[in-house]
Amino acid sequence: MNKEQDIKYMNIAIEEAKKGKYYTHPNPLVGAVLVKNNKIISKGYHKKFRDKHAEQDAIDKAKESVEGSTLYVTLEPCHHHGNTPPCVDTIIKNKISRVVIASTDPNPLVNEKSINKLRNNKINVTTNICEEEAKELNKSFFYKYKFNKPYIRLKLAVSIDGKIANQKKESKWITSSQSRMFVQKLRAEVTAILTTSSTVLYDNPKMNIRDEKLLKNLASQPALILLDRNLSVPPTSNIFKANRLVIIITNIDNSTNAPVRIYNDNVVIKYVKTTNNKIVLEDIYKIAKLYNLDDILVECGSSFSGTLLTEDAVDELLYFIAPKILGNKSISFSGVAPINKLKNKKTYKIKNIKSYKNDLYLDMRRE
């Protein structure tokens, strides 16, 4: 087949992969398409964690022999035993003659091992077809292996004059109900939501997923990471009411005169040292890694968002703009110190723009 046909079928595989969105954590999204005699004989995708992989799903759905067919798959087939047998062995066993792969797997247990094994078994392999599109499906998965830290998404909802709350720190609601429903989907994409004690004390948010359609197939609510230096958030707060892991990061050691707090069994307290009275980002990353939380959505106020922006820690900026004006004494989203030279400005590139009712949504990435 020519490259144009390869791109055509790989795009179909990418659309298959998207069907598993929200449900495969900690596994990546993967789609597969089987083509024989220039026609699609089967399609498959990874539906949820611990379920069969996309390649096996496509093979099982085929109504005819897959021998001699071409397999299009968005990620290099697995090489190791996990919750399922190695897909590379299944491909060889079923005598598939050609495998087209969008991207190699960054996991050292797999990385190019399956490609080499397929070739050693006389199977024709083509790689890097629609690679960027396939990587976008699993951006945090690739990021984790490349940088050994969580992928940080910062969500902000602002007025057109750049305010996140009025002078009285009231922020409910700047954006529309449609925008807030979309945030439910953003929460379902990540493994953890991170917020601060200031945000919880002012707004008493739930910061969970309440969309029944999403909850139906989700394995669990995303974990919640709470930065609470002084253990000031009461256990009766709404964030503790969802059935999920809650990690409180504090600098109050339990050997000191810490306030007495009785939490649910799903609450874990992690003690860290602070620098300039602030919790260090590296400590947050280390704690997140302990619990395999590699994709974090930050929902907070101007202070911590300013820290993230100042330290260039934002990998993806999710920016909702409502056509409202709150005035010059209201609270700005940015706690970044004044930038004296334009060359030192913070710059992001726009990946996507959408509208939700009257709001504008910009998905931006670090440049």
* Active site residue ranges: 55
**103 vs 93: CA distance, rounded Å:** 22
Q: Residue written as tokens 């598993």?
A: 20
User: Which phi-psi region, left, alpha or beta, contains residue 322 (left: φ > 0; alpha: ψ -120 to 50)?
Assistant: beta
Distance CA 347, CA 366 (A): 7
Q: Going by C-beta distance under 8 Å and a sequence separation of 6 or more, which residues neighbour residue 56?
A: 44, 84, 87, 90
Phi-psi region of 95 (alpha: psi -120 to 50; beta: other; left: phi over 0): left
Q: How far apart are CA 93 and CA 26, in angstroms?
A: 27
